[in-house]
Structure 1
Amino acid sequence: MPDSVVVREYARLTSSYLAHSTLDEAQVSQTAFDWLCELSSGFSRSGAKLMQLENQHWLKLDSFVGVLESPCGQVIEILPKHFDEGDCERQSRDLLKKLIASSLELNCREAEEAGLKLYDAPLAEWVMRQFLHQLERLLKRGLRFDYQRVEEEQRYLRGQLDVVRQMRQPPGRAHFFQIRHDVFLADRPENRLLKRALLVVLDHAKESANWRLAHELAAMLHELPESRNIEADFGRWQHDRLMAHYESIKPWCELILYRHMPLAVRGEHRGISLLFPMEKLFEQYVARMLPLQLMPNAKLRTQARTKYLCRQGDKDMFQLKPDLLIERGKSVWVLDTKWKRVNSNSADTKYDLRESDFYQMLAYARQYLPEGKGEMVLIYPKSQTFTAPLKHFDLHHDLLLHVWPFDLQRDELIITDYSSLPLCKRIALTRQKDVA
């Protein structure tokens, strides 16, 4: 049984014998299979759908991507289901790394320096490598120290004498001094969290370069205590000017310590397990790239929360949260992202679009668009079956709905020329920058 299994969204997993594993069907150990069943039931109780049990021998994954490490040590890497030709595993892994880096709000220079495109390794090793390189860079600049107040009993005077405690000394101990003083130490919340994350990497790094670098850094931090309360220490993380060089390592520290992303595996077993809802990663990536296509004076808002579907008495009910809003003057356009496949060649099946998505957009239009009139956009990932915008949908009463593809390779929304949205094509934008 292999130590690691690579699959993609909606793949089927089994503990029964498989002659040949693929990205869509794979065999896992019985221990890992039982653990996944238990994990799935825990997610279901909390309202999230991680996978579904088809029968006693098969599990079908949902749209979560990332990496899971079972108690028996088997690693299951789940990649996006986006490519159908070429080296699908490498392309999907590169795409996932790019989306994660964007979600962590790393700039392009940081991602490139970290080897985003050159490091072809499983996701967990890649995350650990980013953390280690950021920690190495931080140590070269120097850890941030802080003064810590120490109250102790000594045979000598140092700092300030605690008169009240000194007067309460019992007979025979008058020669001991109760003192308080400040010590300049690296024992502060940020450094304790870095040490805790480094210890996790030490336990789980398998790639030789990661293992070697982790031990080198651990030797440099051997006197630093680790965090005993992760939540409390993250709450005390400082963001002032003197801590600016810590900002680039914080997202990786949060990833490793199960705090930053929407979902993380919790429980007694604490392996390197990270899960990301693919819909959320796609939404965040589009929101970060779309401003590059905005025309002047246009503004992009994410996750607007100002409108409700209805009222009962004086109480608003059912909050409406479109993914994206574009505003320019008094004009408003609603955009929503969907991580689903569209087939532009299949008009008979309504292009594999969901009717519920159209009803959702109607609700958004009624509350967010002036007089419920204007244009809206549903954004889907570009694929082999969806390379160009569909013909717009007329929802009557001067309301149009566009269905446009977003090219994850070129990082651009493919738009039509006849829409009123204040967007320009990235090609034209690039030419303008070159001329300038």
Structure 2
Amino acid sequence: MRYLTVTEYERIPRTEQNQKLLSRLQAFDESWCGSGGEPIFDWHDRRFVRARNYVGVIAVPGGAVEILPKIDKQGEAGKTRAQHNLLYMLSMTRKIVGEDRDLATIGTQKMPLLEQLIALFAARTLSELKRGIDHTYVTQEDNLRCLKGKLLVGQHAVKNALHREQLYCRYDDFISDTPINRILKAASRRLLFISKTASAQKKLREIIFFLDDVTDLEVAEHHFDDIHYNRNTERFQPLINFSLLVLKGMSPAWSLGKETSFSLLFPMEELFEEFIARYIHRYADQFGLSREHIHAQAIGRREWLLRREHDSSGKFRLKPDLIIDGLDGSPQLILDTKWKHLLSDAEDSKNGVSQADIYQLYAYAHRYECQDNILLFPFVAGVSPKSYRIQGKYCSHRIRVEFVKLNRDLRTDGSAFREEIGKVLGLAAA
């Protein structure tokens, strides 16, 4: 199986060695676009294929491509760090299963990204099943040789007039054939078909053995709607969420048949936005913040930019990536993340920040009456933070352009990263 590792917007040469893999990737990309997705690659150049803004992994018959975020220098060490950071960001945003201890274990093994994702799922699923398989009570009615539950006298008299040795009963059966177990079994079977690593295959087979009494099901999206979590089953929720990605990722369409193509893809700008919001929320105490004052996607704090004159209906919804309230409940800081690699100060004094981004933050500042407003970008060499004051006689709002360094191990170097985030927010990380 041929593996290729590239970063966002990196070129893959159309060599004879790559041609078979690229033709299968192109067929997958066309199918993906036909199902409503944005193109994963740019196919227009005859000399090479260029990755676009998705990160993750695509497996097709005979090979796989992993696309990593562009956060470090080219080379093996840079790609390894980018791979580790991608796993950390996916874990932080709950798109994959795995806590710090799981990532630490996986990080010591040199495996393709796809195999690492499978290993994380298999290890966590097996651990949870050993703690206890999901069960539920199902009411059943049947003829039995002995009394179980409640004897249904009327039905018994009709059905067993000639069979006095039988009793028609209604009883509750404690079964493991639940929607949660069906989905975990289906996902494990799919991943067993894909994985090439012996240790992961062994764990996936153990999972399937644990769930031997569970119905084999060709899972569709509506099956996930049948799950209702409670205190006993909420521990399975991250596994089910990942199973949804797995079973959808097997094909752009839900009907898979024997097709072996598979993908787990994430738009990098959305992943970066969610990662920063969840990171600040998780470490709110160290930033001296109250979690109830942090509003990701401005949930509970969304506003309209304009109102129509004749009926006062709101138009042009404003939805900042992150709003942090002050002690009085009014917005203290608005932060909008942008996954763009800007120009250096020497190339452009504005670093290539677009007018549209500035205008957007200007609208946020005025509508929310927020004094401090930040555009946050990934750091690139040669750039420096900028701070601007909005022009106006009665306005003192400012807009800042800030950066965070992602070319470090975000998991093991977390204290330095939190210190940097704290400085951006104007807060000291404890």
* TM-score for the superposition, normalised by structure 1: 0.81
Q: Mind listing any 5+ residue stretches in structure 1 that lack a counterpart?
A: 20-25, 430-436
CA distance in 2, matches of 1:367, 1:317: 13
Contact 1:344–1:390 (8 Å) recurs in 2: no
1:175-324 matches, cutoff 5 A: 177-247=167-237, 249-258=239-248, 265-267=252-254, 268=256, 269=259, 271-291=261-281, 292=283, 294-296=287-289, 299-304=293-298, 306-312=302-308, 313-324=311-322
- Alignment partners' CA distance in 2, 1:142 and 1:37: 40
Query: What is residue 406 of structure 1 aligned with on the other side?
Result: 404
Once residues 391 and 321 of structure 2 are traced to their aligned partners in structure 1, the CA distance between those partners, rounded to angstroms, is 23
Counterpart check, 1:80 vs 2:69:
yes
The CA distance in 1 between the partners of 2:122 and 2:263, in whole Å, is 17
**Alpha-carbon distance between aligned partners in 2 of 1:316 and 1:126, rounded to the nearest angstrom:** 47
Name 2:378's counterpart in structure 1.
Answer: 381
Larger RCO (alpha carbons 8 Å, 6+ apart): 2
Alignment-derived partner of residue 29 in structure 1: 21
**What is the CA–CA distance in structure 1 between the aligned matches of 2:225 and 2:354, rounded to whole Å?**
41
Change (3 A) 1:180 1:240: same
- CA-CA distance at 1:338 after TM superposition: 0.7
CA contact (8 A) 1:325 1:334 kept: yes
Distance 2:381 2:336 in 1: 21
Instruction: Say whether residues 1:390 and 2:380 are aligned partners.
Output: no
Distance 1:93 1:353 in 2: 27
Q: Deviations over 1:77-119 (max 9, x none)?
A: 11111111552221111111111111118899x2223424323
Which residue identity does 1:81 align to in structure 2? Answer: K
Q: Is the 8 A contact 2:59 2:261 kept in 1?
A: yes
Instruction: Identify if the C-alpha distance between structure 1 residues 393 and 104 changes in structure 2 by more than 3 Å, giving closer, same or farther.
Output: same
AA at the equivalent of 1:319? R
Question: What SS class does the counterpart of residue 366 from structure 2 fall into?
Answer: helix
Greater displacement, 220-229 / 307-316: 220-229
Pair 382,17 (structure 1): closer, same or farther in 2 beyond 3 Å: same
Q: CA, structure 1 residues 64+85, in 2 after alignment: closer, same or farther (shift >3 Å)? A: closer
**In the alignment, what sits opposite 2:427?**
424
Residue 362, structure 1, aligned to residue 362, structure 2: yes
Identity value in percent: 25
Residue 412 of structure 1, CA deviation: 3.3
Whole-Å separation in 1 of the counterparts to 2:313 and 2:200: 55
* Separation in 2, partners of 1:188, 1:38: 36
Is the 1:189–1:236 contact (alpha carbons within 8 Å) kept by the matching residues of 2? Answer: yes
* Residue in structure 1 matched with residue 412 of structure 2 by the alignment: none
**Cα distance change of structure 1 residues 400 and 125 upon mapping to structure 2, 3 Å threshold:** same
Instruction: Indicate the SS of the match to 1:100.
Output: helix
Q: 1:273 to 1:303 in 2, by over 3 A?
A: same
Listed as ranges, the gaps of 5+ residues in structure 2 are 409-415
**TM-score using structure 2 length:** 0.82
Q: CA deviation at 1:189?
A: 1.8
Contact 2:323 2:334 survives alignment (8 Å): yes
How many residues align? The count is 404
Q: Deviations over 1:269-324 (max 9, x none)?
A: 46431111111111122112235363356832111152122222332122111101
Corresponding residue for 1:326?
Answer: 324
Alignment of 1:94-173 (within 5 A): 94-104=84-94, 110-114=99-103, 115-154=105-144, 157-166=147-156, 168-169=158-159
Please provide the CA RMSD for this pair. Answer: 3.3
Identify if the C-alpha distance between structure 1 residues 131 and 77 changes in structure 2 by more than 3 Å, giving closer, same or farther: same
Query: Does the 8 Å CA contact 1:40/1:49 hold for their aligned counterparts?
Result: yes
Change (3 A) 1:172 1:96: same
Aligned with 1:225: secondary structure? coil
Q: CA deviation at 1:162?
A: 3.6
Look up the SS of the partner of 1:187 in the other structure: coil
Q: How has the CA–CA distance of structure 1 residues 182 and 40 changed in structure 2, closer, same or farther, with 3 Å as cutoff?
A: closer
Residue by residue over 1:354-413, the C-alpha shift from the partner in whole angstroms, topping out at 9 and shown as x without a partner, is 22211211222221225xxx2211001123344xx4231233122321111113334337
- The answer to whether the 8 Å contact 1:332/1:369 transfers is no
| 3-state SS in 2 of match to 1:352 | coil
